[in-house]
Amino acid sequence: MNPRRVRAVAKRIAEQFRRDRRSLGLLIGAPILVMSLVGALWGSSTAQVSRIVVATDRAPAPQLVAALRRSPALAVTETTVDEAMRRLRDATVDAVISTRVGFVSTEIVVVMEGSDPFRSGTTLQSIQRAVLAAVSVPPIPGAPPAGPPPVVVEYLHGGPDHTLLDLLAPLLIGVFAFFFTFLLSAVSFLRERTSGTLERLMATPLRRAELVVGYLAGFSVFALIQAVVIIAFTVLVLNVKYSGSLATIFLIEAMLVIVSVSLGLFISAFARTELQAVQFIPVVLVPQIFLSGLLVPVDQLPDVLRPFAAIMPLTYSNEALRGVMVRGLEIGDPVIVRDLLVLAAFGVVTIAGAIASIRREVA
Amino acid sequence: MSAVEGSAAGSGAAALVATDVTKRFGSVEALRGLSVTVREGEIYGLLGPNGSGKTTFIRCVAGLVRPDAGSLALWGGEPREAVAAGRVGYMTQAAALYVELSVEENLGFFAALEGVDGVRQRIEEVLRTVDLLDRRRSVVGTLSGGMRQRVSLAAALLHDPRLLLLDEPTVGVDPTLRRDFWDHFRGLATRGVTILVSSHVMDEAGRCDRLGLIRDGRVLAEGSAKELVARAGTADLESAFLTLSEGATA
Ligand SMILES: Nc1ncnc2c1ncn2[C@@H]1O[C@H](COP(=O)(O)OP(=O)(O)O)[C@@H](O)[C@H]1O
Ligand SMILES: [Mg+2]
């Protein structure tokens, strides 16, 4: 070991870093960005408020309803069982509470919407607390508290025969597609820019829009192959249960990939090296993982973060993929239609950005 | 594409007319009022040292760079129009190819962009021209620098362009093949193809019909190699270039 040579190598690395201000900035800035996200997400105490419906035609005991109403974590409405179940299917409420006459006693029946495992967990916890609170208040002052009534929990989607993976795998398909196509398109278009082939292409009859659409088509094919492989693997090897039509899943995927690829092409204009392109991951992708409903339901996000979730493509693909693959929604369902339209709007913006970024370089 | 039969050494109509073209990159003035006229069927050589603006001018002609001032027309129209019509072939200074793809795949791609008919046969023809037919299936990344130059030239020739832009085409190409290249260029010019070629190699310059000596983004002197040597009163083109550029800066 020659200390002088070692020092020379270390010094060179420091000098290169100094020239590459962006790497230096990201080294410091990216953790700060991610930590402040995490801080805002989990550091604040905005607890989830679950929307539950109490069936009026099969109402549980009044003191239970009162206890449910007293819970700050529950927003309680009352309506008929039929109407309540309809709202549950639309996922506009999280749980329906009613009663059923059993052999021994009257059971309390909680039907969970169930498509979002994190939301379900919190909701069920809040309901169980309220049930316990209700029985700990004796009906007659001084009398011993009655034993807790039997509670039967049922699931519209998911439930005990579903694992966390069943409910999250659909979203992961979107995340993988976004991640890889964004990264690969950013890097390959960066190469196109730096190796001179982009300029060479601009000296042919090829139009910029044709180039962008060609990239979109090429990458979409690979993203769909990726989706097929992931779905097949999760179904056949991991025994994940899905519903929904494959065609609808592909359509959602394709829309998402159009956004991620054109975003990758656009972003590549702001990188000079492949390393710099990779550095966009913590900026573009990590916030989407945190805010797009994968870990925390979007409507439970702290107020400061909700607007960010609204401008993230993964928010909409997650909702759509969960809708189709967990809730079994059809392509014509208003939720799916809206998500596809929003993704299309993102696509228009990012494609325009990609085309404009080509003009920026080539006069 | 009608092959306008240009009689010898560019007595045809003007293919390229550039007048007082200027281009600035930040603080660098790459072109400072460059004027050049190239006739159909003529081989025009841009001769000048590194950094004199040759590549920048060729990029202007290829429609890749918009001049800040001055005018530049190909057959009386915008460069972009001529490019879009497939009338321009551009061989870049550093071979711009997809290194992961084979020679054939690269050429197939450019042929498709240029709308070439009978692609397979045409690829074979241009590869024979650059003497690379036996390497058609080689991945470009495994080729030497000179071979890549040849693939790059082949790509520029694919669609039989009326104007060929060659930016230092023979760098890294061995002398025998270099001579073959120039024979081929002459053959194309005889068929009416206009060629704008840049070089800083003086012995190549003798094969051009006319030369523009470029320095600091301007044409210092113009004429055939013979004329320039005579005007400078020197023994060869290299000293002529030095004499003429000193005269201009003095
Ligand atoms: N894209 C660019 N950005 C900044 N400067 C440039 C750019 N292209 C060329 N230049 C500068 O313009 C001058 C002319 O360059 P160039 O046309 O490549 O010369 P040549 O091809 O004769 O060697 C050089 O000083 C070069 O550094
Ligand atoms: Mg050059």
| CATH code for position A134 | 3.40.1710.10
pLDDT tops 50 at residue B21 = yes
> Are A284 and A324 part of one and the same domain?
yes
Residue B236 is assigned to a structural domain of this protein = yes
User: Does A243 or A314 have the greater pLDDT score?
Assistant: A314
Q: Which of A113, A137, A155 is the last residue of a domain?
A: A155
- The predicted-structure confidence for A203-238, as pLDDT tens digits, reads as follows 999 999 999 999 999 988 888 888 888 888 888 888
**Number of independent structural domains in chain B:** 1
Q: Whose CA is nearest to atom 5 of ligand 1?
A: B25
Residue B143 is assigned to a structural domain of this protein = no
Longest dimension (CA), chain B: 56
Beta bridge partners of A109: A98, A152
Residue B54 is assigned to a structural domain of this protein = yes
Are the C-beta atoms of residues A94 and A138 closer than 8 Å to each other? no
What pLDDT score does B11 carry? Answer: 60
Residues 6+ apart with CB under 8 A from B231: B221, B223, B240, B244
Are the C-beta atoms of residues B248 and B220 closer than 8 Å to each other? yes
The identity of residue A65, as a single letter, is V
Are the C-beta atoms of residues A210 and A218 closer than 8 Å to each other? no
User: Does B202 or A117 have the greater pLDDT score?
Assistant: A117
User: Mean per-residue pLDDT for B89-112?
Assistant: 95
Range of the domain at A68: 50-155
Beta bridge partners of B91: B166
Q: How far apart are CA B121 and CA B130, in angstroms?
A: 15
Residue A20 is assigned to a structural domain of this protein = no
> Are A173 and A261 part of one and the same domain?
yes
What pLDDT score does B6 carry? Answer: 39
> Are A138 and A172 part of one and the same domain?
no
Residue A135 is assigned to a structural domain of this protein = yes
| CATH code for position B1 | 3.40.50.300
Tokens 């709007």 label which residue? Answer: A345
> Are A119 and A206 part of one and the same domain?
no
What pLDDT score does B30 carry? Answer: 96
Of A22-26, B109-113, B142-146, the one with minimum mean pLDDT is: A22-26
Q: Which of A138, A155, A172 is the last residue of a domain?
A: A155
Using alpha carbons, select from B19, B125, B16, B9 the residue that is nearest to residue B79: B16
Quick one: pLDDT band at residue B126, thresholds 50, 70, 90? very high
pLDDT tops 60 at residue B109 = yes
- B56, B57, B60, B215: residue to mutate for ligand 1 pocket, most atoms within 8 A of CB: B56
DSSP 3-state of A102: coil
Quick one: pLDDT band at residue B2, thresholds 50, 70, 90? very low
The identity of residue A187, as a single letter, is V
In chain A, whose CA is at the least distance from the CA of B152?
Answer: A200
What pLDDT score does B239 carry? Answer: 84
Residue A19 is assigned to a structural domain of this protein = no
Range of the domain at B69: 1-79+199-250
Burial A236-267 (b: 16+ CB within 10 A, else e): eeeebbbebeeebbbbbbbbbbbbbbbbbbbb
Q: How far apart are CA A283 and CA A275, in angstroms?
A: 14
Quick one: pLDDT band at residue A169, thresholds 50, 70, 90? confident
The identity of residue A283, as a single letter, is V
Q: How far apart are CA A335 and CA A91, in angstroms?
A: 10
User: Does B234 or B36 have the greater pLDDT score?
Assistant: B36
Q: Which of A104, A135, A155 is the last residue of a domain?
A: A155
Residue A107 is assigned to a structural domain of this protein = yes
> Are A65 and A205 part of one and the same domain?
no
What pLDDT score does A106 carry? Answer: 81
Quick one: pLDDT band at residue A363, thresholds 50, 70, 90? very low
In chain A, whose CA is at the least distance from the CA of B99?
Answer: A195
Residue A26 is assigned to a structural domain of this protein = no
Are the C-beta atoms of residues B207 and B182 closer than 8 Å to each other? yes
Q: Which of B64, B86, B88 is opposite residue A199, by nearest beta carbon?
A: B64
Q: Which of A196, A199, A205 is opposite residue B115, by nearest beta carbon?
A: A205
The identity of residue A260, as a single letter, is S
Residues 6+ apart with CB under 8 A from A277: A183, A186, A187, A190, A267, A268, A271
> Are A74 and A215 part of one and the same domain?
no
Q: What is the ipTM of this complex?
A: 0.90
Structure tokens at B241: 């270039």
CA B46 – ligand 2 centroid, Å? 10
CA of residue A165 relative to chain centroid, distance: 14
**Number of independent structural domains in chain A:** 2
